[in-house]
Amino acid sequence: MSSLSRELVFLILQFLEEEKFKESVHRLEKESGFFFNTKYFDEKVLAGEWDEVEKYLSGFTKLDDNRYSMKIFFEIRKQKYLEALDKQDKAKAVEILVQDLRVFSTFNEELYKEITQLLTLHNFRENEQLSKYGDTKTARTIMLGELKKLIEANPLFRDKLTFPTLRSSRLRTLINQSLNWQHQLCKNPRPNPDIKTLFTDHTCAVPNGPLAPSPVNQPVTTLTKPTAFPSLGGGAHGPFPPGAAVAAAANAGALASWMAAAASGASTVQAAVVTPASIPLPQNQVSILKRPRTPPATPGVVDYQSPDHELMKRLRPAPSVEEVTYPAPRQHAPLSLEDLPLKAAVALHQGSTVTSMEFHPMQNTLLLVGSATGEITLWELAVREKLVSRPFKIWDMANCSPPLQALIAKETPMSVTRVAWSPDGNFIGVAYTKHLIHLYAFSGPNELRQHAEVDAHVGAVNDLAFANPNRQLCVVTCGDDKLIKVWDISGRKHFTFEGHDAPVYSICPHHKENIQFIFSTAIDGKIKAWLYDNMGSRVEYDAPGKWCTTMLYSADGSRLFSCGTSKDGDFFLVEWNESEGSIKRTYLGFQKKLAGMVQFDTSKNHFLAVGEDAQIKFWDMDNISVLTSTDAEGGLPALPRLRFNREGNLLAVTTADNGFKILANQAGIRSLRAVETSAFEKMRTPADSPLSKAVPVASGSCKVERGSPVRPSPMLNGVDPPKPRIDDSTDKPKPWQLAEILDPAQCRHATLPDTSGSSTKVVRLLYTNSGAGILALGFNGIQRLWKWVRNEQNPSGKATAATVPQHWQPNSGLLMTNDVSGVNLEEANPCIALSKNDSYVMSAAGGKVSLFNMMTFKVMTTFMPPPPASTFLAFHPQDNNIIAIGMEDSTIHIYNVRVDEVKSKLKGHQKRITGLAFSTTLNILVSSGADAQICFWSIDTWEKRKSVAIQMPAGKAANGDTRVQFHVDQIRILAVHETQLAIFDASKMECIRQWIPQDSLSSPISSAVYACNSQLIYTTFRDGNIGVFDADTLRLRCRISPSAYLPQGNQGLSPLVVAAHPQEPNQFAVGLNDGSVKVIEPTEAEGKWGMVPPSEASNTSPSTTSNQTPEQLQR
């Protein structure tokens, strides 16, 4: 609501108070949310009228708005609960506990349990913390003091606790002034007029005749006015004339005069409101917006044009003096089908469903991709390489709202809804399906830095775009909460636009003549326009189809298009007439009705492209018929997403196999080749530079060296491997060499305190999900925790080899010790799992499974006593109360902690379970066992779908521990056995890649794990070597020798387990057989482990090759 409307509410409140309308006063206070009456609130709290207290509060805040609001509601409900207990009314207390207090258990289950236990006490004062609870009156007074502090600290109550200073009867005074003004305008003013009504404008009756016509509809400039009154501008009905010209001319933020309020019932009060924008606007904007209207032809009638027409008229650029006023044909080069990107030039595998794409605004082959797993990836298309990949992570849990924290605690999946570049290409915006947007700073191909995390909307953030109001870079977002919000680049909110009655689907910021505005569309088909102020939407239209619509301008900003879908599956592509606010042309060519949202884009100023019916259709902007279409050589989904690059010579389109293709015209193909050649030349050795030796371009595929472990790649997921362009002969020097780290100075490593010389070997190792700690489970069943602290040396507070962490224990001195009574530790198989919010850790070491509180180290509960013993643990990804437990007897128990019950028992292995992993994308559980089998189970029915045997090398028995871990795409699986690394495609339940220890890494594998972005695989070997592999190709990128991180003279030391940092892809930790734990990183100068071989840079997808012959794989 605008500022003058807000002041009007205060005037009404004063009037109601003076007239003793007590209930109406407080009802208006609550409904408007403008003034929180602390006196009234105090009275109700002290009287114990709890229902009225919460009802009044609800006008200003909700329980889950922020931590202050949550605390306010909790204190009130707790007091209500204690009073019921004090009266020995257990039934009422139980009702309050279940209906009012249970909601807080989501955020603090331990506190809820303690409150529940009060029911078992005869007098709740027996509880130590409540021993000083006095009588009810005293308790309410103390609580009220706490509530006042919380309310004053709550930002939602800012500027709402003080009533403005007003002269008495201010509303009456204003009405009298208005009546005096109306009387002065009378043609025949009479002394001492008799004012009988406020419902109509006042006029004095003509002597001996009827009432004179009201002059209020005539232009005020034609009237003779007393000099004592200032001009109010154009006349209008009602006490608040719209278009207050004097105020508008004096205020640079007065954008209300740009458009009239929408005709459909818009308040005239709103039209008169003048508010300075939070983002300053140019002084010349007012003059632009205040063009004089054509004088009315009929005296006494002002030509108020329709708001729709006014909006489009103001958006249209003003013609220059030299321009002719009649329409001229649009001039651009003749169109040709050769201008369209129709040839499939590149096919790449993202690994999960692509949900959004955006090309860099200046670098034409740099593509940003967002996926359904929440991961964002930056691709250099010319070399087919992932430059940067960032999986979804919460950056700062403390700044997340309680509802978001609750969703995270439930491990709700997060998908990307939109990725966007800032106009200068220096920032990336990412919107997610729940609450959040992430802003990254981009300073180079491999430099993507966290910049700001914003809890932007309640529910999904449906769209995100950058804008530059008054040359200040801002981010505009919209969401399921029906709001549009504007943020500066640091994440500080400037505007919230309210007015839609349904979730807002898309936004389109734009500008005309320095006028910055935003179009928004909602899922009810309404299109609205907004200026950067707080005055509400200016116009409202119905989108064709009246459902989900996206709006885009042509590259030069002169033409406006929209593309949308109806609920019946009809598609609409139209161009808008900006002068009239009407549809200028409707494009034809849609054939089928399909469920889903259609996507479109514009290419420079020539073409429109739409993804529909598993193909891409193109239109000339000036012709309603389809120009041409392409299926991109097959593999497209029914409604592919698409995006042009700035030049329009490349078009990215999504594929049905969790990837995307790049379509190109001849210019686009040349740009890909130019960048590819440039990238390759940078990696060449000086002796092999183009200055000394020319490199021929091969017409066919290149030869594979006999000694190479790489074989030609068959097709995977419908994507053909590329044909390498460089024909390297066997005598040519290699442009890439394996990175060998042999000396401690070649990497950074740190030994965690209190671990050196320990005789308890580390058998399980985890990073905390926050990335600030490491948890190790020892051979003896004792868990140790290390935490990094935030300081000058480590401002992020995350795990690093640059600083030494603390060996952390609670003040009680407790250890997290598992039940090992009667256990033969030599035969035990310890296991561990950590909850996503780092609150609980679950582990076992041959005995019962124990659930520990990570803050107190106390055992919360124990379950599943042997036999059989538990050998592997995994939390269900969507419910922390459900745990998959692998057992020594080869079964898998699906256990519900809350009800202490085994829901299902899965049978399919022959030996003990050694690995479990969930995929929410495929809705499956994957298990591995000591029988070298991998089983796939349906999460819905817990039925086994398939069992696959690991392909053992010749002469090796099919036994030994096998571990499994999902790639971030939730489709590929890393299977680790002492004899091999293997990659499985879980969607097809088959092995696609295998690597066998060889050459310098010939020792058995002890452990392996994906890096957090799944681009690397860290692998430890029993001889102390560590290998860093490329995750897509299983090619070795870097070997870390034991001499680089182990002390000299310590023969027999070797890593047993490896863990990857959850946010830093180049950091990992290893647990050794002497009980020590080491964190290892590349040097600051290097920044990463080795480099991608150029032959891999052109790979389009993970291939099915291995370092074995196909015959060996088949065996």
Predicted confidence (pLDDT) per residue in 461-496, tens digit: 999 999 988 778 999 999 999 999 999 999 999 999
Task: Give yes or no for a contact between 879 and 853, defined as CB atoms under 8 angstroms apart.
Answer: no
Q: Decide if pLDDT at 258 tops 50.
A: no
128-132, 918-922, 963-967: range with lowest mean pLDDT: 128-132
Which is more confident, 1028 or 791?
1028
**DSSP reduced 3-state for 975:** strand
Q: Decide if pLDDT at 328 tops 70.
A: no
* Number of other residues whose CB lies within 10 A of the CB of residue 277: 22
Q: Decide if pLDDT at 969 tops 50.
A: yes
- pTM > 0.85: no
Over residues 359-368, the mean pLDDT reads: 90
DSSP string over 163-218: PPP--TTHHHHHHHHHHHHHHHT-SS--SS-----SSS---PBPTTS-BPPPGGGS
DSSP state of 90: H
**What is the pLDDT at residue 909?**
94
Q: Decide if pLDDT at 277 tops 70.
A: no
Over residues 1000-1016, the mean pLDDT reads: 93
Q: Decide if pLDDT at 299 tops 80.
A: no
Over residues 394-402, the mean pLDDT reads: 88
Q: Decide if pLDDT at 432 tops 90.
A: yes
Over residues 720-747, the mean pLDDT reads: 57
Band of pLDDT at residue 883, cut at 50, 70 and 90? very high
Omega into 1110 within 30° of 0, i.e. cis? Answer: no
Round to whole Å and give the CA distance between 111 and 117: 10
**What is the pLDDT at residue 1107?**
40
Dihedral sign, Cα of residue 403, residue 408, residue 411, residue 412 = positive
**What is the pLDDT at residue 363?**
86
**What is the pLDDT at residue 906?**
95
Cα torsion for 975, 977, 981, 982, to the nearest 10°? -40
Count the residues in the chain. 1115
**What is the pLDDT at residue 64?**
85
Report the relative pairing of strands 1036-1040 and 526-531 from DSSP bridges.
unpaired
Task: Give yes or no for a contact between 586 and 574, defined as CB atoms under 8 angstroms apart.
Answer: yes
Over residues 1016-1042, the mean pLDDT reads: 93
Q: Report CA-CA distances (Å) from 679 to 527, 819, 1092.
A: 45, 57, 12
Round to whole Å and give the CA distance between 610 and 574: 12
Q: Decide if pLDDT at 866 tops 60.
A: yes
Q: Decide if pLDDT at 995 tops 90.
A: yes
- For 594, what's the count of Cα atoms within 13 Å in the CB-facing half-sphere? 19
Could you tell me the two tokens for 95? 């009702």
**DSSP reduced 3-state for 95:** helix
385: β partners? 380
207-211, 259-263, 846-850, 1001-1005: range with lowest mean pLDDT: 259-263
Round to whole Å and give the CA distance between 645 and 603: 8
Q: What is the pLDDT of residues 669-713, one digit of tens each?
A: 888 876 544 444 444 333 333 323 333 333 333 322 323 333 333
Band of pLDDT at residue 351, cut at 50, 70 and 90? confident
Which is more confident, 250 or 102?
102
**What is the pLDDT at residue 594?**
67
Query: CB pairs under 8 A, 24+ apart, for 298-307?
Result: 299/218, 300/217, 300/218, 301/217, 302/217, 302/219, 302/234, 302/235, 304/260, 305/260, 306/263, 306/581, 307/259, 307/260, 307/261, 307/262, 307/263, 307/266, 307/538, 307/539
**What is the pLDDT at residue 1031?**
92
